[in-house]
Amino acid sequence: SAELTQESSLSVALGQTVSITCQGGTLRDYFTSWYQQRPGQAPVLVMYGTKRRPSGIPDRFSGASVGGIVSLTITAAQVEDEAEYFCSSPDKSGNSVLFGGGTKLTVL
Amino acid sequence: QVQLEESGGGFVKPGGSLRLACVASGLVFRESYMAWVRQSAGRGPECISYISGNGEDIYYRESVKGRFTISRDNTNDSVFLEGSDLTVEDTAIYYCATVKWEGGVSFHSWGQGTVVNVSS
């Protein structure tokens, strides 16, 4: 598939753990990136190289890949983690970039 | 700390043109791939163009190929996006971003974006 598929929405209780998944595209061939976007703000990179956290991103964010399904896990979710999350990976050619449709995360 | 600041957005009539600019600081600009990523209301981002540090590697998304041109000025740490024959489908927030290729592609730093509204 040339698309990346994510859950459209998820919710998590404050302090609990949630995983957002990304499937399709070329996830088996390339590393995946994840972006957090709060309303009215620009996206922020929270994970790259599938498992690498940029400086300044809390260690409650982690990434994994199992069987071609990539996930972003937030352990002990905080109120400030409520946002939309997008996965991204190159397309088959390696030149273009695919983005998932986004997952709106609500922290209850 | 990398900072990116876009400018040039506004209202454009269908068939019109745009010229966006992004000024960067806090990075070795001439060594950095730069991209323009746009996002329409309620949709995910889409990378429409990127350019290598020396300007020799350029990509355009199919939907803008032949209508948009990316360029850069390494003397003034700036990257530009020119577009013509705009349609309502080009209405979006346009972000400038730094790009890294490391077994995948990631957009590490983003500007705050500039809004382009194509409307009659």
Other Cβ atoms closer than 10 A to A97: 25
Determine the distance in angstroms separating the CA of A51 from the nearest CA of chain B, rounded to an integer. Answer: 12
In 3D, which of A6, A63, A1, A8 has the Cα closest to residue A29? Answer: A1
pLDDT at residue A19 in the model? 98
- A43 Cβ under 8 Å from any chain B Cβ: yes
Sequence-separated (6 or more) residues with CB below 8 Å from residue B69:
B81, B82, B83
Q: Which of A1-5, A58-62, A63-67, B102-106 has the lowest mean pLDDT?
A: A1-5
Is B104 close to A33, i.e. CB distance below 8 A? yes
Write the CATH number for B48. 2.60.40.10
Domain count, chain B: 1
Fold of A4-107: Immunoglobulin-like (2.60.40)
Query: What are φ and ψ of residue A80, in 5° steps?
Result: -70, -5
Instruction: Tell me the shortest Cα–Cα distance from B22 to chain A, in angstroms.
Output: 15
How many Cβ atoms are within 10 Å of A18's Cβ, its own excluded? 20
Helix/strand/coil (H/E/C) assignment for every residue in B70-87: EEEECCCCEEEEEECCCC
Residue pLDDT, tens place only, B96-118: 999 998 888 899 999 999 999 99
What is the residue range of B73's domain?
A: 3-118
Q: State the pLDDT at residue A25.
A: 74
